A and B are shown apart, each in its own frame.
Chain A
Amino acid sequence: MAKQYDVLFRLLLIGDSGVGKTCLLCRFTDNEFHPSHISTIGVDFKMKTIEVDGIKVRIQIWDTAGQERYQTITKQYYRRAQGIFLVYDITSERSYQHIMKWASDVDEYAPDGVQKILIGNKADEEQKRQVGKNQGMKLAEEYGMDFFETSACTNYNIKESFTRLTELVLMAHKRELEGLRMSSADELNLAELEDDGSKSDGMANSSKSCWC
């Protein structure tokens, strides 16, 4: 008989300052929305449990500072993620252009096999739109990513996008999950939480493996 088990993932939100990363997180975890923008200076996380295909997944979602001056520092958090949201603001052409840079940072700093998803946020602000939906789709296709336009304000596509990325991560770790299903371990901990950033060197490759 299959054992009951639990999976823990770490997902990361990145993108320019002000695209709404913190709002996406708040909407998803607390179903709250605060329209005023307070810059995230640092990295913060929240936990959320969702069920995907009958598997109870606990996800730890990391919200990062988008400001340019912190980017060299936020990069060091990439290697601990199994899934990454690349977020731009559909009312900001600039934030969309910067996705390229964010994506190349991900390639450089995130572990191999990290799952990515492109998010065009603020979809409710149609009158201020600078980036067409097809532009987003095109870019996503170029990078081989799934794409969602979302609105943290109207709660549009929030759950869907988080669930989708979780699914992608689950699929990418199917082998470990199957192993777990048969073994007697209680919990698959994909997001081994390092207690500080100082323990780094050379762990990037092993960071996504469970014990099996």
Chain B
Amino acid sequence: MDQSFAIQDTLEKGDTCLVAVQGILVSPYTNESRLVGLVKNRETLAIFLYKHRRMAICADDVSLDEIIPLAEGVIIQQVMPAEGFYVIGTDVTLRIKSLDIDIVMQLPFGSHTQEFLRRVNQPIQEGLPAFPSQQFVWLRKYWQRNIPSVNSLFLNNMNYEEERQLSGLDINLVSDLEADKMAMNGQWIKANERVDPSRSPQMSVRHNKTTFTDLVRSADVLSANKAEMVPFTKFGLRDNLIKSELLKNEDTYISIQNYRFFVGTYNVNGQSPRESLQTWLSQDSEPPDLYCIGFQELDLSKEAFFFNDTPKEEEWFKAVSDGLHPEAKYAKIKLIRLVGIMLLLYVKKELAVHVSEVEAETVGTGIMGRMGNKGGVAIRFRFHNTHLCIVNSHLAAHVDEFERRNQDFREICSRMQFAQADPTLSPLTIHKHDVVLWLGDLNYRLKDIELEKVKKLIDSRDYKTLHKFDQLKQQIDGKAVFEGFTEGEIMFQPTYKYDPGTDEWDTSEKCRTPAWCDRVLWKGKHITQLEYRSHMALKTSDHKPVSSLFDIGVKVVNEELYKKTFEEIVRCLDKMENDCIPSAALSQREFHFKDVKYRQLQVQTFTIHNDGQVACQFEFIRKLDEESYSKPWLRANPSKGFLTPGSSMQIELEVFVNNQTAAALNAAEEKIEDILILHLDRGKDFFLSVTGNYLHSCFGSSIQMLCYMNGYMRDTSEETITQLAQMPLQMKDNFLGAEKPAKIPKELWMMVDHLYRNASQQEDLFQQPGLMSEFEAIRDCLDSGYPESLPGSNHSVVEALLLFLEALPEPVICYQSYQKCLESIGDYSSSKEVVSMLPLHHKNVFKYLISFLQEMLNNSEKNHLDIKILASIFGNLLLRPPPDLPKPSNSDKRRCQEFVQQFLQPEDP
């Protein structure tokens, strides 16, 4: 039934329950029933989960448990069973994930569920509204009323939103920055955003305003334009396999192509740009392909330090953009800044499409080890198929603090982490990149050398000697810092410290010793440094800018080769998958059962061998429109089983024709013919064909057919049998020409006459069971006429007689007379009347059997038979309820016996 009425009952005016489904909330501990409603208010939707106490009819039956607004970030996906397939008609399992909820629901298969999924899916397709936002304020009343504690988190947000509204601000303008602020306050954390709680709030704000006019195109265009990117697709385990295989085989489809990188670093001492940067950035004749430009001490003001806000960012960004090589057009890929440390990445316009997976992060190592006056910023990206990371750092100052600088380096390395597109993967660190370019004011000084000697060595351009006193060189040689990194030979004079506006060494009170503070180092393969230099022409700062020009060999994908490799991998995976399909071999597929006889078991065995690589489960399954996997006379043993790889099992096919199945086979309506389907779970189906011939038998044949049959069953042709089987029950005597039918079946006569002659004085007759082997001989004798007299003991003949009567497709007292017989009990004459109405041959058989039994009773002194015993045996053989009636009750059975008993009583004198 539709339970949405109950939900509607709980809703405020204006909110509508579109559809309701009763499902199961799956948790590791318990599974609880929930009523799931999809509730709509204007354009927004939310999923309401209700606890309920029964089939919900009104509001009293339900209590609101959870609300999930259908807002940006909500993911609803169907959970596949482990095998990766689902069976239609079974429950639909959904995983619903939102900002703070992650639940699994099982919904029943059916129209309500379908409707629910359709309704939910539609807005997801059309794009969901952001949350929190004004559009979802309507949910607040429910949260407050029903689940105040659970969702206080959301509630705060709603308050926040409402206040904004009251203060007249345009809610629609809530920007990413606002979202970041919320994250800072701990109110709301974006589902996919990783927040390092150890970071100081101010420092964690990622400043990624895109208000700048990009030179060519905005960075956003890049990530979306992935047409040319290698399509690493997300696709579960299989996809990860492909991915790792592709990585392993990278050499087969990539070639190394050189691209020119310009890497510059400049400590600007808090100044604004006053001179063109061209002498730094565009000194070379050829325009570089990429620019990585780092600044330190962009802004030394308190405002910048405390609020991370500075006008200098835009000033220097513009100065750099204006100073780029005039012979090429560049696109800004990314700008990242932490207080005064800023890093800019530009790429030639036409190469921008090859840049993807751009991420930027900052790490503060300044005051308290956290603040942004010192530290590093980094941009990681993928260029063609090479992953690069550019780091700009400003390490601790002062001559003696080299240990502190080493520590800053290590801090930056360990705390700089980039989120990956796939949130299930752990974040990337700096060292996990193919190429790392590290630039910045590393602040290492010249040590244990007097100022005069330094200046003298500089004047004589003996940088080699001077370099020996460089702390960075010493620290690297001692493996204390920048392990794995390389620095080119320094052929320029120290870049620090000058009197601003001049090329003169520091003349201030402190009179600092010159030092190579500003450096560029690299790590990775295929990197050639072409230039490493300082730029003396720039006089704005007390530092001189440094630049390094690199040719970096980048892994470029050959699309054709890539495709080939990719296809090869997919082919291998397909092969693996096909190899893992359960497989088995059968020793035999066709089975012929020769000369199947009534009540004689025939067995054939075959072997099923698991020749696959995985365990397999097999089962005989039923065919369309059939009730059982086989015909009723056929059985497989076992009919299902489990095989480990390499193991085998024997399966027996048993054919056994019993009373129920004999009639149709005797009448030639049915043949020994069947096809079995042996199904391997998650694998193929085998067809097993079963054939055979049935030896027709009097057992299970009708009285009438046997009376009309000339000769023995086994000698009679199929056509004759078919003809005889189609005879109507009540018929004229002249059927089949002149042939006179027998009065009773000769097979019956043979048995009864045998007993009459040999067994009337037999003790315990009708009480002792016969032997199966003897019965088979008797059956063969009756059906073939050989040997001439019945073999076996009297008890076995009795057994055959009883089986014969039991197997009659139409009992001696015909089905249609059954009810009348029961009704006539107590009135012997009317019982006789019923018998007289039976078809001729049935009447004959009845009378013949009764007189035989009476004869037996005459010898009761010897054979110890009495009326009661015989009536109890024959009552339920001669009278059987029609097959469409229920099985007879004990009282019905007793009445059948009473009926027969009437005829066995001595006639009234």
Q: How many Å lie between the Cα of A187 and that of B233 in the bound state? A: 12
User: Closest CB of chain A to B452's CB: distance in Å?
Assistant: 63
Q: A47-B578, A48-B574 are in contact. Are A197 and B684 (CB under 8 A)?
A: no
Beyond the given A4-B235, A42-B678, A206-B89, could you list 19 further A-B residue pairs with CB under 8 A, ordered by the A residue number? A1-B224, A3-B234, A6-B236, A8-B85, A29-B574, A42-B685, A73-B687, A76-B623, A76-B624, A179-B125, A183-B125, A185-B78, A187-B84, A193-B87, A193-B682, A195-B87, A211-B114, A212-B118, A212-B121
Give, as a whole number of angstroms, the nearest-CB distance from A20 to chain B: 19
| Contact between B121 and A183, CB atoms less than 8 A apart | yes
Check B88 against A73 for contact (C-beta < 8 Å): no
Is the pair B574, A198 in contact by a Cβ cutoff of 8 Å? no
Q: Is B77 an interface residue (CB 8 A)?
A: yes
B682/A56 in contact, CB under 8 A: no
Q: Would you list which residues of chain A between 17 and 36 have a CB under 8 Å from chain B?
A: 29-30
Expressed in whole angstroms, the Cα–Cα distance for A207 and B687 within the complex equals 24
* Residues of chain A at the chain B interface (Cβ within 8 Å): 1, 3-6, 8, 29-30, 41-49, 54, 56, 65, 69-70, 72-73, 75-76, 178-179, 182-187, 189, 191-200, 203, 206-207, 211-212
Selected from B86, B231, B679, the residue in CB contact (under 8 A) with A197 is B679
Q: Does the CB pair A54–B685 fall under 8 Å?
A: no
A186 & B589 in contact (Cβ 8 Å cutoff):
no
Residues of chain B contacted by A186 (CB below 8 angstroms): 77, 234-236
Complex interface: chain A residues within 8 A of B84 (CB):
187, 189
Task: Find residues 560-606 in chain B having any chain A CB closer than 8 Å to their own CB.
Answer: 570, 573-575, 577-578, 581, 589
Asked whether B689 is an interface residue with its Cβ less than 8 Å from the other chain, the reply is: yes
What is the chain B residue whose CB lies nearest that of A54? B231
Interface of B is mostly: mixed
* Bound CA–CA A182/B233 (angstroms): 16
Inter-chain contacts of A44 with B (CB < 8 A): 684-685
Complex CA distance for A1 and B229, rounded to whole angstroms: 15
Q: Would you call B80 and A197 a contact (CB within 8 A)?
A: no
Shortest distance between the CB of A62 and any CB in chain B (Å) = 9
Q: Check B624–A69 contact: CB distance below 8 A.
A: no
Nearest chain B CB to A196 CB, angstrom units = 4
CB proximity to A under 8 Å, residues B268-315: none
Which residues on the A side are within 8 Å of B117 (C-beta)? 211-212
Q: B589: which A residues are within 8 A, CB to CB? A: 41
**For chains A and B in complex, what number of residue pairs have CB atoms within 8 angstroms?**
128
Binary interface encoding of chain B residues 245-277 relative to chain A, with 1 for a CB under 8 A from any of its CBs, else 0: 000000000000000000000000000000000
Complex contacts, B89 vs chain A, CB 8 Å: 199, 203, 206
Q: Which of B80, B570, B581, B686 contacts A187 (CB 8 A)?
A: B80
Residue from A4, A30, A41, A195 in contact with B234 in the complex, judged by beta carbons closer than 8 Å: A4
Chain A positions within 8 Å of B338 at CB level: none
B696 to chain A, nearest CB (A): 24
| Shortest distance from the beta carbon of B81 to any chain A beta carbon, whole Å | 10
Given contacts A6-B235, A69-B689, contact A193 B574 (CB under 8 A): no
Per-residue CB contact flags for chain B residues 66-106 toward chain A (1 = under 8 Å, else 0) read: 00000000011110100111111100100000000000000
A183 and B124 in contact, given A47-B578, A75-B624, A198-B621 (Cβ under 8 angstroms):
yes
The answer, yes or no, to whether B619 is at the interface (CB within 8 Å) is yes
Cβ of B531 < 8 Å from any Cβ of A? no
The CA of A167 and the CA of B88, in the complex, are separated in Å by 24
Which residues of chain A are near B574, meaning CB under 8 Å?
A: 29, 47-49
Report whether A184 and B573 are in contact in the complex, using a CB–CB cutoff of 8 Å. Answer: no
Contact B85 A189 (CB under 8 A): yes
> Which B residues are CB-close (under 8 A) to A75?
624
A196 x B80 contact (CB < 8 A):
no
21 interchain pairs (CB within 8 A)?
A4-B233, A4-B235, A4-B239, A41-B687, A42-B685, A43-B684, A45-B581, A46-B578, A46-B581, A47-B574, A49-B573, A70-B675, A189-B80, A191-B85, A192-B85, A192-B86, A192-B87, A193-B682, A197-B621, A203-B89, A206-B89
